[in-house]
C-alpha cells in the first residue's frame, strides 16, 4: 500500500494521482476525502484507466461524468441533502411543529455549493422558504458580519456546511452571540463529524446540534460485528477517540477492496474495474458503515448509500433519523429551548 498526501489542494491531488499511476504503477486508488480534490484527481485516474474508489467526497458530479473507472460507495451530496430535510419532516410529523423559514450558510467551494443547490430544491418543494443564502470563503478569521445577517434574517432553522476550522469558529461566535434558531442548526458532515470539532468548542455551543453523519455514531453500542468492534478499539487506541465517519468509511472500503480483489484474483486494472462494477455486497463487515447493500449503478454510484441524522443530546450524538436506526432510549429535543432557558 502506497500513501500520498493531497494537502487538500486540487492541483497537488491531481499531480499525486499521476505520480501514483505513472511512477508507482498502482493498480487502484482510494480517496480523497474532500470533493475539491477528488473531482480533478479522479479525472486523472479515469484518463489512465485506473480504478478509483471514492472515500468521503460527496460532490454529485463525481459520479455524473460518464466515467467507467470511478466508483463511490458513500453518499452523494443530494443524498445528504435529502436526509437532512427528511429528518426535519420526521420530527415535524412526530411533534406537529417545524420550521417554515430556512437559512443556508456554507463554505464556497465545490462541496458547499453542491450541497446547497440540492437543499434549495428540496426546501422549496416541501413548502419552506429560504430566507438566507450566504456563502463564505474558507479559513475565516471572523464571522461577525455573517452573524449579523443571520440574526436579521430570523430563520427557524439553519443548514450549515463547513470544514473543521471554520465550523469551530462559527460555533463559538454563534454561541457568544446567543442567536435563537428555534429548530436548530443542521450541519452536514465535514467539520461536525470531526472529533476535533467537539474538543474545540464549548459543550453548550453544540448542545442540540443536528448533524448529517456519514455513519451512525451510536452504532458501536448496538452492533456487535467483531471487525467493527476491533477496528473501533484500535482506532481509539491510536487517536484517543472512537472511530468517526471517515474511519468507518475507510473500514468499509477496505472490505470492499478485499471483496473486489478476491473476485478479480488479479492486479490487472481492467479485471479490478470489472469486479468493482459487478460488486453486490449484502452482508459482512463492509456493511458495518450502516448501509444495507453496496452495489454500483452505471455511473459508479452506490445507490444504497445513506447516512443518519444525529442530535447532540447531553453531550452524546444520538441518532434521530431514520427511525429504524434510532435507539429506543433516544428522545429528540424539538423545538429547542431558547438560549435564555438553557
Write down the pLDDT at residue 267. 96
**Amino acid 194: pLDDT:** 85
Which fold, 10-75+226-235+243-295?
A: Rossmann fold (3.40.50)
For residue 29, the SS3 value is strand
**Residue spans per domain, the chain:** 10-75+226-235+243-295, 78-219+307-341
Q: DSSP code of 64?
A: S
Task: Please list the helix, strand and coil fractions of the chain in percent, rounded to the nearest 5, in that order.
Answer: 45, 15, 35
pLDDT at 114: 84
Name the grid cell of 278: 459487478
Cis omega (within 30 of 0) for bond into 266 = no
- Contacts (Cβ under 8 Å, ≥6 apart) of 120: 104, 130, 133
CATH number for the segment(s) 78-219+307-341 = 3.40.50.2300
Distance CA 316, CA 216 (A): 12
Q: Which residues contact 330 (CB under 8 A, 6 or more apart)?
A: 218, 313, 318, 319, 320
pTM assigned to the model: 0.79
The 10 Å Cβ neighbour count of residue 255 is 18
All three cell numbers of 202, joined, read: 464549548
Pairing of strands 210-213, 308-313: antiparallel
The pLDDT of residue 101: 98
Task: Report how far apart, in Å, the C-alpha atoms of 312 and of each of 20, 174, 328 are.
Answer: 40, 16, 16
Residues paired with 157 in a beta bridge: 102
Please give the radius of gyration of the chain, using alpha carbons only, rounded to the nearest integer.
20
Q: Which three cell numbers stand for residue 139?
A: 479559513
What's the DSSP call for residue 340? G
Same CATH fold assignment for domains 10-75+226-235+243-295 and 78-219+307-341 = yes
To the nearest 10°, report the CA torsion of 213, 260, 34, 190.
10
Helix (H) or strand (E) holding 22, with range, is helix 10-22
DSSP of 295-309, one letter per residue? Answer: EB-TTSBBTT---EE
Residue 338 DSSP code: P
**pLDDT in the model for residue 111:** 84
CB 198 within 8 A of CB 222: no
Angle at 183 between CA 220 and CA 245, to 5 degrees: 25
**Which parts of the chain sit beneath pLDDT 50?**
none
Strand partners, 113: none
Edge-to-edge strands of the sheet including 210-213?
Answer: 129-136, 101-107, 157-161, 185-188, 210-213, 308-313, 316-321
Cβ 155 vs Cβ 102: under 8 Å? yes
Amino acid at each position: 500500500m502506497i500513501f500520498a498526501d493531497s494537502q487538500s489542494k486540487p492541483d497537488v491531488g491531481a499531480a499525486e494521482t499521476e505520480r501514483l499511476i505513472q511512477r508507482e504503477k498502482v493498480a487502484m486508488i482510494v480517496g480523497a476525502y474532500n470533493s475539491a480534490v477528488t473531482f480533478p484527481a479522479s479525472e486523472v485516474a479515469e484518463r489512465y484507466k485506473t480504478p478509483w474508489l471514492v472515500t468521503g467526497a460527496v460532490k454529485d458530479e463525481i459520479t455524473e461524468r460518464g466515467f467507467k473507472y470511478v466508483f463511490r460507495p458513500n453518499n452523494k451530496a443530494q443524498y445528504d441533502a435529502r436526509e437532512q430535510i427528511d429528518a426535519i419532516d420526521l420530527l415535524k410529523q412526530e411533534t406537529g411543529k417545524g420550521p417554515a423559514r430556512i437559512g443556508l450558510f456554507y463554505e464556497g467551494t465545490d462541496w458547499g455549493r453542491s450541497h446547497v443547490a440540492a437543499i434549495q430544491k428540496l426546501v422549496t418543494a416541501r413548502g419552506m422558504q429560504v430566507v438566507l443564502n450566504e456563502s463564505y470563503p474558507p479559513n475565516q478569521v471572523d464571522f461577525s458580519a455573517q452573524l449579523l445577517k443571520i440574526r436579521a434574517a430570523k430563520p427557524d432553522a439553519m443548514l450549515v456546511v463547513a470544514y473543521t476550522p471554520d465550523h469551530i469558529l462559527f460555533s463559538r461566535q454563534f454561541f457568544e452571540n446567543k442567536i435563537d434558531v428555534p429548530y436548530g442548526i443542521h450541519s452536514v458532515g465535514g467539520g461536525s463529524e470531526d472529533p476535533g470539532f467537539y474538543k474545540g468548542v464549548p459543550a453548550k455551543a453544540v448542545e442540540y446540534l443536528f448533524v448529517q453523519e456519514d455513519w451512525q455514531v451510536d452504532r458501536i453500542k448496538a452492533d456487535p460485528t467483531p471487525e467493527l468492534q476491533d477496528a473501533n478499539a484500535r482506532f481509539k487506541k491510536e487517536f484517543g477517540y472512537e472511530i468517526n465517519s471517515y474511519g468507518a468509511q475507510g473500514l468499509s472500503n477496505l472490505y470492499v477492496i478485499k471483496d473486489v480483489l478476491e473476485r478479480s484474483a488479479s492486479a490487472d486494472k481492467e479485471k479490478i474495474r470489472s469486479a468493482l462494477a459487478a460488486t453486490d455486497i449484502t452482508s459482512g463487515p463492509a456493511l458495518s458503515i450502516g448501509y444495507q447493500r453496496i452495489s454500483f449503478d452505471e455511473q459508479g454510484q452506490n445507490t444504497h448509500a445513506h447516512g443518519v441524522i444525529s442530535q447532540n443530546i447531553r453531550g452524546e450524538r444520538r441518532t434521530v433519523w431514520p427511525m429504524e436506526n434510532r435507539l429506543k432510549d433516544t428522545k429528540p429535543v424539538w423545538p429547542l429551548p431558547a438560549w435564555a432557558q438553557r
